[in-house]
Amino acid sequence: MEVVEQILHMNGGVGQTSYATNSSLQREVISNTRPTLDESITIYCNKVLPKCLRIADLGCSSGPNTLTAVSNIFDIIEASCQSLNINSPTFQVFLNDLLGNDFNVIFRSLSSFYEKLKKEKGDKFGPCFITAMPGSFYGRLFPNNSMHVVHSSSSLHWLSKVCLF
């Protein structure tokens, strides 16, 4: 593991200095970029929509915003599917962050996230499978041509070298 990866990470937990407590700016970034995400995903859905849509969220962190971008993507795809009068695909979501991220907190929140999805979107939506892909996106995280949607809202500013997906 590179020294940078060991040093640069969000503060875990739920204390006063944790990311979970201090992530309102990141939530605002996700909200402000929603129109661009909406346009991009809608264009994609109108061109091609695979039976299993693979989504990666790079730099997901661990806190109240972790599944916000994924939820937004689901909303956009659901609206596109309804307008096209087609069923939504199966979703395979990869949440990525550095090894220091507390993925266990995310995993503990998934059952309530799945329940919320079912309640809001019904049985015709999904199914959805969420997993973690820990590590730096400076290196290869996924096989070539394996992702359909790659999202990153607050992590690319950390880049100091070119990274190829």
Instruction: Provide the 3-class DSSP secondary structure of residue 100.
Output: coil
Residues in the chain, how many?
165
Give the CB-side neighbour count of residue 1, counting CA atoms within 13 A: 12
Full set of structural domains in the chain with CATH: 1-151 (3.40.50.150)
Q: Which residue has the tokens 């939530």?
A: 27
- Higher-confidence position of 79 and 18: 79
Share of the chain above pLDDT 70, in %: 73
* pLDDT digits 0-9 by tens, 45-74: 888 889 999 999 988 777 767 788 899 999
Closest CA to 157 of 127, 130, 137: 137
Prediction pTM value? 0.80
